[in-house]
Chains A and B, each alone.
Chain A
Amino acid sequence: MSEKKTTGAALTPRPAPRLTSQTAGYWKAAREGWLLLGDCAACGKLSHPPQTVCPFCWTAGLGNRKASGKATLNSFTVVHQSGVPALRERLPYIVAYVELEEGICLLSNLVNCPPAEARIGMALRVLFEAITDESAAVLFEPA
């Protein structure tokens, strides 16, 4: 899972996520090429997005584990109009609801895939696009 630019270098970086004590680790890991999932030692459930309290048993001190990066496309939409300036340069872009093989769903973008070729159920793999030195977008492309 090496870092990979998905589009031309001339594009404006995506909006940077706000880094908090709960999320900075997730974004730093993404910058280094890993997708982290919340992993609760108390109840054993995985979760997303990162937080310090497990969203299932509310045990504090939620740990994390690296996801495999393998996923399927649960749903998608081809966006043609966007109020997010950096994303406007990427129109039309695909917003994806992705189901990881670990069973966790998250919102992302499907890239390196012509919109007409997107299909619910298609196999995907994760890739990363740097936003800042401390963060990268977690993206998916056809496997």
Chain B
Amino acid sequence: MSEGPAIVGVHEHPLRLAPDYTPLRFIGECAAAALADAGLKPSDVDGLATTGEPMALNYIAEYLNVAPRWLDMTGIGGSSFLAHILHAADAIRQKRANVVLIVYGSTARSSAVALGSSPRPEVVDATSVSDADGFELPYGIILAAQYALVAQRHMHEYGTTREQLAEIAVTCRAHAAMNPNARYRDPITVADVIASRPIAEPLHLLDCCVITDGGGAVVVASNEVARNGRQKPVRILAGREALAHGQGGHRRLLDVAAKQTGPGAFADAGLRPSDVDLAMIYDSFTITVLTTLEAMGFCKPGEGGAFVQNGRLRLGGELPMNLEGGALSNNHPGRRGIFLAIEAAHQLRGNAGMRQVQDAQVALCHGTGGYLGGRHSGVTLLLGRD
């Protein structure tokens, strides 16, 4: 555990609304802050990763004026950054890189991007592989609907209630109160979530993540760099990545990608769900969390509704989750996987302040990218301290 690649520097940008920023400005500021956090200098960076439009990495390398010898632009939605961390750890073990910088910046809120109520943007050019969109756009299959279909099916099969889903949003808001940068910090109740306006039933407004501007950066480095770094190394113990999709018309809605990644990640790390001290779970919608908790094996399939109740996910509970407030209350600039790893790193270093999980040794991050009821990715990452 104490020999492998590690996260050695992190930064989450404090702004949630920045109309005068561009994505590159977020990336520049976050890259500088994460490198300073790590005690490294720009010339140490020899690997670079991000997700975004085609050739985004070309522009970012120029902006940062770096010459990386290892590149990753895996773009599988909001989980991409966790895949970058996983890939970076492999590259570092293979000596193909020594210090990998993973960056993200977005002005989704300032640009008024209506993430949840939009269909997948119709991007049709000579290289487009999005033929299948014609089978969704005529029916108004907005993003939130793709998650709501899973929620409705879960409620039907297992008797999960809207109150149980709401508890996830209430938990994230309670944690956001301990994060001065969070988008929303005022406490909410289960009744508030139930009473908020419907978006795609059974999901209502407060079941849906916020939309913000924002940015972040993570530095992954070799053990040699990590043991001489400014921070306690956060070890990358194991991880898995997977895709779920329509399966030619044979998809069962509750077969989420996380089912393919969780068990393998635990097996690779030699850990069990009961070893996890905190979870950072992509909470694009409340149902995303519920299905992920079951898929990771924290509870049995169908028992997620009962599992999230009675404060189990709160700071001080059995499995504290999304301690900075998550996508439901802290930030969501479109793809938030990087923030899962950043908060996990703070928790494992022990510098998470008033929201610190006592003696945190193992953190689970799981990112979901895309559309839970359709094509989506899942990436599980297990992190630990020495």
Contacts and interface: CB of A to CB of B under 8 A. Distances in A.
A46 interface: yes
B140 A90 contact: yes
Nearest to B143: A83
Nearest to A119: B156
B201 A80 contact: yes
Contacts of A16: 138
A25 B256 CA distance: 31
B334 to A, nearest CB: 15
Contact of A77 (B124, B133, B202, B248): B202
A7 interface: no
Interface in A67-102: 74-84, 86-87, 90, 92-93, 95, 97
Nearest to B133: A18
Given A74-B153, A77-B202, A120-B156, A131 B138 contact: yes
Interface string B248-288: 11110100000000000000000000000000000000000
Contact of A105 (B137, B156, B202, B250): B250
Nearest to A78: B201
B200 A103 contact: no
Interface in B76-107: none
Interface string B189-220: 00000000111111100000000000000000
Interface residues of A, number: 50
A138 to B, nearest CB: 9
Interface stretch (B113-121, B300-308, B316-324, B339-347): B113-121
A45 B138 CA distance: 26
A55 B248 CA distance: 6
B124 A75 contact: no
B156 A79 contact: no
A112 interface: no
A77 B117 CA distance: 13
A45 to B, nearest CB: 7
Contacts of A23: 131, 134
Contacts of B253: 74-75, 97
B139 A77 contact: no
A28 interface: no
B152 A120 contact: yes
Interface residues of B, number: 42
A18 B138 contact: no
A76 to B, nearest CB: 6
A107 B200 contact: no
A95 B202 contact: no
B149 A48 contact: no
Contacts of A51: 131
Nearest to A93: B140
B5 interface: no
Contacts of B198: 78, 80, 92
B352 interface: no
B373 interface: yes
A6 interface: no
A114 interface: no
Contact of B248 (A47, A86, A107): A47
A95 B145 contact: yes
B148 to A, nearest CB: 4
Contact of A48 (B117, B156, B249): B249
Given A55-B248, A83-B114, A120-B153, A22 B131 contact: yes
Given A75-B152, A92-B198, 8 more contacts: A27-B134, A46-B249, A75-B150, A80-B198, A81-B200, A83-B114, A95-B145, A131-B138
Interface of B: 114, 117-119, 124, 131-142, 144-145, 148-153, 156, 197-203, 246-251, 253, 373-374
Q: Which 8 pairs show the lowest CB-CB distances between chains A and B?
A: A17-B134, A87-B140, A77-B148, A55-B248, A48-B249, A104-B249, A47-B248, A83-B118
15 contacts: A46-B249, A56-B248, A74-B153, A77-B202, A79-B201, A82-B117, A82-B140, A83-B118, A84-B119, A90-B140, A95-B140, A95-B149, A107-B139, A107-B373, A107-B374
Interface of A: 14-20, 22-23, 27, 37-38, 45-49, 51, 55-56, 74-84, 86-87, 90, 92-93, 95, 97, 103-109, 115, 120-121, 131, 137
